[in-house]
Structure 1
Amino acid sequence: MPTNGPGETILLIEDDDSGRELGRFNLRKAGYVVDDVADGEAGLARFAPERHALVITDLQMPGIGGMEVLRRIKERSPETPVLVITAYGDIEVAVAAMKAGAFDFLGKPFHRDHLVLTVQKAIERRNMARELERLRRQAAGVERPIVHASAAMARVLEIAERVALSAAPVLITGESGTGKELVARRIHARSRRSSGPFVAVNCAAIPGELLESELFGHVRGAFTGAVRDRPGRFRQASGGTLFLDEVAELPLPLQAKLLRVLQEHLVDVVGGDSPVAVDVRVLAATNQDIHARAAAGALRKDLLYRLNVVELPLPPLRERREDIPALVAHFVAGLSDGRDIEVPAAVLDELARRSWPGNVRELANACERAVILCRGDALRVEDLPPAPASGPGAAGGSSLADLLGALPEEGLSLVDLETRVIERVLQMKRGNVSQAAAYLRIPRHVLAYRMEKHGIRRP
């Protein structure tokens, strides 16, 4: 038998002291990490799906028995294999456990070789199922890779894995460009709704007068131009997940309708006679201070409580600079069209030095520019976008009064001011909308919408 196992952690639940000691000894000798407890209640309290690769439980225990332990673990984590220990001759109980979801059973007293081989087979089966599920998600195109090397992002993804199997709403917060939709997609892909649709809606990109119909649907004739029924995004996401990006931008009347959906799972269709039942999990995201919005009355507090069952804050790139080399390698490899492009240390040092107000999205744009301008087989610092200016004239380093100057006494047009600012930034960024959006610290689609609204063209 092997003396070195894969280092997986196994939860062993056995009320017999000698049997628990023997199982712990044999599993550790095979290279496994063992958590062992003496009863079912302690085992359920200790169980963590993200940590334990496998559970071994005795069936006959005082208090919470092995069948109840099996049932509750399968409810929490269907993919975690469970082995049950039963006395020889008690085959009917073992068969019942197998029907309830146990991977296999071990006769008591069990032989060491049989124990280790059964554990290996169960974990291999679990790993194979996970790999098949990963390939299925990849083929479906819902989940996208989240490249990271930092402990901060590892913690975020660990929490995302834990909340994925629940039905609770999740509020993902963070600055623009930190990857909120990527995290939402990961939660959906690892949820029990992964076979259903993932529907994303950006609440800031759709004019308020159209957003109600977009979300909740309408019937033919509900308003001018409604020439046919429209199901709306909630019904399109039925059986799956609806991702509401920039949810803090929802107008107050629509917030009340969203609250009704979250509470009663009913959609009030525009122009409809009766509400329609929907089966949707809602994930939401915002780059704003959601609690400040609620305190200011711009967001209903009861809606905040419903959306914010679990809050998942994403750290900005400047707080996880150790992710930059891995992200750069990922972006450059995807943009290089088969070319083997080197990223010298000087380029990485320059990238690590910058503050990245546009976060990962801005870094991706910088890598794209550098690859396009690269003439050899290595990136150069001069291929990168110009570094933001420093000093009192730099954005973020000056006061609002410095930026605006003296305001005219006769008044001014806010629309004209916004138009002039956007035009000036576009000129500064040579027509690159993504870089202009990062500079203005708004999502790209919001800038694109405002450009279209004000008739602004790229220089």
Structure 2
Amino acid sequence: MTPTEHRHLLVVDDDPDLLRLLAMRLQANGYRVSPVGTAEAALARLAVERVDLVLSDVRLPDRDGLALFEEVRRLYPALPVILLTAHGTIPDAIDATSRGVAGYLTKPYDSQDLLDNVERALHLAAPAGDTGSGTTTEAYAFEGMLSRSTRMHALFDETRLVAASDASVLIRGESGTGKEVLAHAIHAASPRASAPFVAVNCGAIPEALLESELFGHVRGAFTGAVTNRRGLFQAAHGGTLFLDEIGDMPLTLQVKLLRVLQERAVRPVGSTRSEPIDVRIVSATHRDLDSELTAGRFREDLYYRINVVNLNLPTLSERREDIPLLAEHFLREQAARYGKPLRGFAPGALEALVTASWPGNIRQLQNVVEQTCALATTPLIPLALVKRALRATPPAALSYAEAKQRFERGYLVQLLKLTEGRVADAARLAQRNRTEFYRLIQRHGLDPALFRGPASPRESADDGA
């Protein structure tokens, strides 16, 4: 195999003759080529296929090549882009390369010059340790969690470090993003893995029963307490206790939980004696706890106890490159469950999954795949079944806190795009001081560097002040 044979190029041009000619020229030199005619088609293809380089005309019917480059850089920061144009000027080339474009060629271009630019961009973009053998890892796995997303890869690396410690962890994320799965992964990768993992949803148990569930009770503590009962803290002794939706915990119980965490002992309801416990706490919430603190609905001292380390799970829409991987994983599970010879999704069906809105995140995707598998009569899941399942899955109703959080993140992204990642300018537009604005973007897991090209010394110094 030659060094180029495994390289996959996405070529974008709205002129079908030029697109065919360019594809043939690249294929003749050993590259695998996917040709498309619009920017939207290019983004759709990127969502379902691994690509090593994008080669795009500047003049496209739905947006220009620079706008496509900016979107590619936002979604896939490490993916190189080369732009081609029949209308190029030296200032255009300088502007494009200053933003991070890997190459800029003016039509008519020399074939060897094109191939040299492609090979140079691929070489510079190759990850450390990639020798051109085509064996680079496409999917990351961590304790049963799968992803192709660079953002999730970074989260997995952070989680590995956290798991090795005994620090309390707060997981933030919208409903359905996999907070309990991540909590279980932390436990499984920790020294406590052989001890129990116990999960409780603090918002699903009535307040009158939650204290007894957590701390246990003694016989006669209240009407119906006919025997002694161990609580979830005692059940998780030596292991991990996962407090899901801790933002829904009543204030009165927050005080008692804080005492348990401070004293490392629990007193069952109705008892006069405390019992020592050895439990690691992992909490999760979809609520904006900073707003809950301001409103007086969550105790600040408890917040700092549970939030020693903060992990943020992205929505499924923010990691669309994972949708084909997750859909195939769920399909294999359901094929085994139903005993059906299911092999995968038809191309149109997979594209429909990738472009759906997914307000219910991974939980909704799993539900849609299960519906299609239950009704499938052919080895490949057809588009019609996917559309039917998507229509049958009602949009998840957002809570006020979720809607506010989603709007806030979108607003911050737009500001950072508008100011090309200059935090001081973005804070000024938002009419917030820079320190507060930094806290906001950190809370939402946003990195200003992803929204700009190489920063000037003055800009870096200003943002780091």
TM-score (norm 1): 0.54
Q: Are residue 162 (structure 1) and residue 173 (structure 2) matched?
A: no
| Aligned counterparts, 1:252-331, within 5 A | 252-331=251-330
Confirm or deny: 8 A CA contact 2:173 2:313 kept in the other structure: yes
Report the counterpart of residue 71 of structure 1 in structure 2: none
Deviations, residues 379-429 of structure 1 (Å, cap 9, x unaligned): 11211254878xxxxxxxxxxxxxxxxxxxxxxxxxxxxxxxxxxxxxxx5
Confirm or deny: 8 A CA contact 1:354 1:387 kept in the other structure: no
Deviations, residues 90-134 of structure 1 (Å, cap 9, x unaligned): xxxxxxxxxxxxxxxxxxxxxxxxxxxxxxxxxxxxxxxxxxxxx
Deviations, residues 61-88 of structure 1 (Å, cap 9, x unaligned): xxxxxxxxxxxxxxxxxxxxxxxxxxxx
Confirm or deny: 8 A CA contact 1:358 1:441 kept in the other structure: no
Gaps of 5+ in 1: 1-142, 390-428, 430-434, 443-459
Q: Secondary structure at the match of 1:384?
A: helix
Q: Are residue 360 (structure 1) and residue 351 (structure 2) matched?
A: no
Q: Secondary structure at the match of 2:281?
A: strand
Q: Which runs of 4+ in 1 moved over 3 A?
A: 385-389
Q: Pick closer, same or farther for the CA change 1:247–1:220 going to 2, 3 Å.
A: same
Cα distance in 2, alignment partners of residues 342 and 287 from structure 1: 33
Deviations, residues 290-326 of structure 1 (Å, cap 9, x unaligned): 1111111111011111111001000000000000010
Cα distance in 1, alignment partners of residues 267 and 330 from structure 2: 43
Q: Secondary structure at the match of 1:351?
A: helix
Cα distance in 1, alignment partners of residues 157 and 340 from structure 2: 33
Q: Pick closer, same or farther for the CA change 1:148–1:362 going to 2, 3 Å.
A: same
Question: Which residue, 320, 332, 346 being the options, matches 2:348?
Answer: 346
Cα distance in 1, alignment partners of residues 386 and 357 from structure 2: 14
Gaps of 5+ in 2: 1-141, 400-465
Cα distance in 1, alignment partners of residues 147 and 259 from structure 2: 37
Q: Are residue 439 (structure 1) and residue 439 (structure 2) matched?
A: no
Report the counterpart of residue 236 of structure 1 in structure 2: 235
Q: Are residue 225 (structure 1) and residue 224 (structure 2) matched?
A: yes
CA RMSD of aligned residues (A): 1.7
Deviation of residue 288 (structure 1)?
1.1
Aligned letter for 1:230?
Answer: R
Cα distance in 1, alignment partners of residues 305 and 166 from structure 2: 12
Cα distance in 1, alignment partners of residues 344 and 232 from structure 2: 44
Confirm or deny: 8 A CA contact 2:169 2:283 kept in the other structure: yes
Cα distance in 2, alignment partners of residues 381 and 441 from structure 1: 28
Deviation of residue 157 (structure 1)?
1.1
Cα distance in 1, alignment partners of residues 167 and 259 from structure 2: 16
Cα distance in 2, alignment partners of residues 178 and 237 from structure 1: 24
Deviation of residue 152 (structure 1)?
1.2
Deviation of residue 361 (structure 1)?
0.5
Report the counterpart of residue 437 of structure 2 in structure 1: none
Deviation of residue 144 (structure 1)?
6.0
Q: Pick closer, same or farther for the CA change 1:296–1:441 going to 2, 3 Å.
A: same
Cα distance in 2, alignment partners of residues 372 and 385 from structure 1: 14
Deviation of residue 268 (structure 1)?
2.3
Cα distance in 2, alignment partners of residues 375 and 338 from structure 1: 9
Q: Percent identity?
A: 48
Q: Are residue 182 (structure 1) and residue 181 (structure 2) matched?
A: yes
Q: Pick closer, same or farther for the CA change 1:182–1:159 going to 2, 3 Å.
A: same
TM-score (norm 2): 0.53
Cα distance in 1, alignment partners of residues 303 and 186 from structure 2: 20
Confirm or deny: 8 A CA contact 2:178 2:362 kept in the other structure: yes
Deviation of residue 341 (structure 1)?
2.5
Larger deviation, residues 379-388 vs 345-354? 379-388
Deviation of residue 338 (structure 1)?
4.9
Aligned letter for 2:301?
Answer: D
| Aligned counterparts, 1:16-55, within 5 A | none
Report the counterpart of residue 376 of structure 2 in structure 1: 374
Cα distance in 1, alignment partners of residues 228 and 156 from structure 2: 39
Report the counterpart of residue 215 of structure 1 in structure 2: 214
Confirm or deny: 8 A CA contact 2:213 2:231 kept in the other structure: yes
Cα distance in 2, alignment partners of residues 189 and 385 from structure 1: 37
Cα distance in 2, alignment partners of residues 378 and 280 from structure 1: 46
Report the counterpart of residue 458 of structure 2 in structure 1: none
Question: Of the two, which has the highest radius of gyration?
Answer: 1
Cα distance in 2, alignment partners of residues 365 and 385 from structure 1: 13
Cα distance in 2, alignment partners of residues 302 and 349 from structure 1: 47
Report the counterpart of residue 42 of structure 2 in structure 1: none
Cα distance in 1, alignment partners of residues 396 and 359 from structure 2: 7
